Amino acid sequence: MIKFSKIDLAVLLFRLVFGFRLIYGTVDNVFSWNRMLEFKEFPVIRYPMFTSFL
């Protein structure tokens, strides 16, 4: 059986919470067609409508 230290579990919990927050904060931009069109206007991105779906 694998034993985890308290620090390992704390780091895992931190990464899960942080990752959830990143996804929760950006998922509305991914599912909104208007936000995708705003993303298309960024001048530094090649093939903006293709990369907006990646």
> What pLDDT is stored for residue 30 in this prediction?
77
> What pLDDT is stored for residue 25 in this prediction?
86
Could you state, in order of their start, the residue ranges of all structural domains in the chain?
27-54
C-alpha 52/C-alpha 33 separation (Å) is 10
Tokens 């904060």 -> residue: 25
Tokens 């704390």 -> residue: 10
Q: What is the pTM of this model?
A: 0.57
Burial bucket for residue 50 (CB in 10 Å: 0-12, 13-18, 19+): exposed
CB atoms within 10 A of CB 29: 13
pLDDT along the chain (54 residues), means of 10: 90 96 86 78 68 65
